[in-house]
């Protein structure tokens, strides 16, 4: 049924990985956008199979490369919003390359552990029918996630204020049609304001030191990997929930965490989410991302029954392995090149350039409405820092609208 050689899988996985490089490096651009555009050129079954492999590879590669703009220019997107501050802080300590390396190895470990947990996930969700229980209690689960994020913060009162303010922002923008030159969600300017702009503002008077380029021996905690992995799985099951929310939950149970730990946990969560979104297509027949929607549009997806995996899932997993290996080494190489040269640039100029990039990308994707969203979300983001509230509280921008949509 699937007439494709291993050589063809490698070629189209490489093409997908290259697309993932581009989407990972350009703030606001996501494989979801590319995937939905590719639907327009779908035709024969064979072409659709090639396109599906490209999309799967791109979605994985994207989760490796999006650490680079988060670290070096402080530009966030949905998946990397929470990682901006710790990664950028490491840059100011001369450890920007370390942040990239930690993220790359954490993402690679996420793929390895995801393969290990794939069969147990299938057993729990499908064989034990746990998915039906989850489906019936989504509002309660979201409320519990919100409560955990708030109650585990150091200042509950200030956290509630920021959570409500960000939630009101989310409610006000959720139905806005703010796409401009390119199709994009108003969530991008909201997250850029909540997480990216405040980081740049607070970093303005600091100097960027010469970056250390030596290879680090960072031992990724298996507990952090498993925690991020479970958070990523949860996202792939719950409709409308982003990996940033899952990452907020994973971090809530850490009382004290270093910048390195935060980067590691968030990278694991980000990559594990992309992996399990693909798996959920075959487990619960639900598409939880634009990439998954495109794959489901291209090909007939069969439910994974029994122990033997569907052939199509096997092909996708091969593409995941190829893309992960390519992305791991490419991310480190590109990160090293940028780290070697970034200290040659005036840091105030770099911050102005970074802010200009964010504003331009917001305008391209969301127009003037996006700029308004960016302005008000930046105020909330700066207020969050002034009140010394954990940044993950700002995920109320996604959680509150979701809870309301399920309750009403």
Please report the pLDDT score of residue 130 as a whole number.
87
pLDDT in tens, 286-331: 877 778 878 888 888 888 988 889 999 999 999 999 999 999 999 9
Q: Over the chain, what is the mean pLDDT?
A: 82
In order of 77, 143, 244, the CA distances from 403 in angstroms are: 21, 7, 16
| pLDDT of 6 higher than 80 | yes
Tokens 């009101």 appear where?
168
Domain limits, the chain: 6-210+220-407
The yes-or-no verdict on residue 241 having pLDDT over 80 is no
The predicted model scores a pTM of 0.79
Residue 3 predicted with pLDDT over 90? no
**Does 191 have pLDDT greater than 70?**
yes
Rounded CA gap, 218 and 146, in Å? 31
pLDDT tens for each residue of 136-189? 888 888 888 888 888 877 788 989 999 999 999 999 987 776 555 555 668 778
User: What count of other Cβ atoms lies within 10 Å of the Cβ of residue 303?
Assistant: 11
Residue 64: predicted pLDDT = 95
Amino acid 209: pLDDT: 76
User: Would you call 126 exposed, middle or buried from its count of C-beta atoms within 10 A (0-12, 13-18, 19+)?
Assistant: middle
| The predicted structure's pLDDT at residue 355 | 82
Q: What is the pLDDT of residues 11-33, one digit of tens each?
A: 999 999 999 888 877 765 667 66
The number of residues making up the chain comes to 408
pLDDT tens digit sequence for 26-83: 765 667 667 766 766 666 667 888 889 999 999 999 999 988 887 887 655 555 555 5
Cβ–Cβ under 8 Å, residues 297 and 254: no
Asked if 67 and 104 touch (Cβ cutoff 8 Å), the reply is yes
């Amino acid at each position: 049924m699937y007439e494709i050689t291993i050589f063809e899988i490698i070629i189209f996985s490489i093409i997908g990985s290259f697309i993932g490089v581009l989407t990972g490096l350009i703030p606001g651009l996501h494989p979801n956008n590319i995937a939905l555009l590719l639907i327009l050129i779908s035709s024969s079954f064979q072409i659709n199979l090639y396109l599906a492999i490209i999309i799967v590879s791109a979605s994985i590669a994207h989760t490796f490369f999006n650490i680079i703009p988060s670290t070096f220019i402080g530009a966030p997107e949905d998946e990397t919003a929470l990682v901006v501050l710790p990664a950028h802080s490491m840059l100011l300590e001369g450890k920007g390359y370390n942040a990239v390396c930690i993220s790359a190895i954490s993402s690679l470990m996420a793929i390895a552990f995801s393969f290990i947990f794939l069969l147990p996930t299938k057993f729990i969700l499908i064989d034990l029918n746990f998915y039906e229980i989850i489906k019936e209690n989504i509002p309660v689960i979201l409320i519990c996630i919100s409560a955990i994020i708030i109650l585990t913060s150091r200042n509950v009162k200030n956290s509630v204020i920021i959570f409500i303010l960000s939630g009101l922002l989310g409610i006000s923008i959720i139905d806005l049609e703010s796409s401009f030159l390119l199709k994009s969600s108003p969530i991008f300017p909201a997250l850029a304001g909540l997480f990216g702009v405040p980081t740049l503002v607070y970093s303005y008077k600091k100097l960027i030191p010469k970056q250390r380029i030596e290879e680090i021996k960072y031992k990724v905690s298996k507990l952090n990997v498993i925690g991020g992995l479970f958070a990523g799985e949860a996202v792939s099951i719950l409709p409308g929930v982003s990996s940033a929310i899952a990452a907020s939950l994973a971090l809530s149970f850490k009382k004290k965490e270093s910048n390195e730990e935060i980067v590691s946990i968030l990278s694991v969560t980000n990559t594990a989410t992309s992996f399990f979104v693909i798996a959920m297509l075959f487990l619960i027949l639900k598409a939880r991302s634009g990439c998954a929607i495109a794959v489901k549009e291209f090909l007939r997806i069969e439910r994974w029954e029994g122990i033997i995996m569907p052939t199509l899932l096997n092909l996708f997993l091969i593409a995941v392995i190829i893309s992960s290996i390519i992305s791991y080494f490419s991310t480190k190489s590109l990160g090293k090149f940028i780290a070697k040269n970034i200290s040659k640039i005036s840091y105030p100029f770099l911050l102005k350039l970074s802010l200009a990039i964010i504003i331009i990308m917001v305008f391209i994707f969301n127009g003037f409405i996006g700029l308004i969203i960016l302005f008000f979300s930046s105020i909330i983001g700066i207020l969050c820092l002034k009140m010394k509230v954990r940044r993950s509280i700002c995920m109320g921008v996604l959680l509150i609208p979701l809870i309301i949509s399920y309750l009403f």
